[in-house]
Amino acid sequence: MALSVATEFVENIPGYRKQDCELRAFYRLAGKLKKTFPQLRICLSLDALYANQQTFEICRKNEWKYIITFKKGSMSSIHEEAMTIKSLQKENRATYEKNNIKQRYAWATEIEHEGHKTNVLECAEFTKGRVKGKRYLWMTNLSITKDNVNEIGNNGGRLRWKIENEGFNMQKNGGYGLEHTYSSNPTAMKNFYLLLQIAHIINQLMEKGSLLKEGVKKAFGGIRNFTRRLLEGLRTILLTPERLRNILSAPCQIRFDSS
């Protein structure tokens, strides 16, 4: 699932020297993630903007894995070396076919860059009946083998689109109103987005977990009726700290549908 959590806002505080950006926000967020989840095994799925030395160092220091969309202009020296090594490492090849789609993988390993080693994975994809194919390229510090190359490519590198489609795109166009300007107050906008994220997470837990099938449908007849009742409850029922503590004290478990 694409659960939107731990947001780091891009903003310029008073007296700033340099313009804030996604990269700076990521560097701040990385420190918070490591502090909050020191033992969590993390694999970062990033676009080409993050292909740089500082990202490599953060992952090395935190013992994180990464899969970064790779473009020639991002780190040209690595790209040139990777293409040369790939042509020499003939054994690093694999082909997979499924549902009229053929994927040809090739990869180059142990590419050094300023004290860091990385691997580059290429996927050429061809669909039956189409003349033109697609080409994907990633950088990763995962060890690539013939046994896991398909997993890294399809369930790693290309999984980033799940974040875009089921994450941000759903928040924009799925009824959550992310792109609507509800306020010009920065604090109010942040609060709105955090509440939007909570709503999106709850909805995914209900749709993909046992709560919807075993509880909501039986009690309310469907998710639409449940959300209407939930909205009325938020409008009319006062949730006191004591009532909230009583609710949270009861055990609750949501199991996900693995089918």
**What are φ and ψ of residue 13, in 5° steps?**
-80, 155
pLDDT, tens digit only, all 259 positions of the chain: 888 888 899 888 776 677 888 999 999 999 999 999 999 999 999 999 999 999 999 999 999 999 999 987 778 888 888 889 988 989 999 999 988 899 999 999 999 888 899 999 999 999 988 878 899 999 999 999 999 999 999 999 888 888 888 888 889 888 888 888 788 898 999 999 999 999 898 888 877 776 666 667 777 877 778 778 888 988 898 888 998 898 889 887 767 766 5
Q: pLDDT value at position 168?
A: 87
List, in sequence order, the alpha helices (H) in 183-237.
Answer: 186-208, 210, 217-220, 223-236
Q: What is the pLDDT of residue 205?
A: 81
pLDDT at 41: 94
61 token code pair: 């220091």
90 class by beta-carbon count within 10 Å (0-12 exposed, 13-18 middle, 19+ buried) = exposed
Please state, as a whole number, how many other Cβ atoms lie within 10 Å of the Cβ of residue 51.
Answer: 22
| pLDDT at residue number 212 | 64
User: What is this structure's pTM?
Assistant: 0.79
Cβ(134)–Cβ(125) below 8 Å? yes
End-to-end CA distance of the chain: 14
* 148 neighbors 72 (Cβ within 8 angstroms): no
Which residues lie across from 70 on neighbouring strands?
none
Residue 258 has a pLDDT of 62
Residue extents of the structural domains in the chain = 166-249
The 3-state DSSP class for residue 113 equals strand
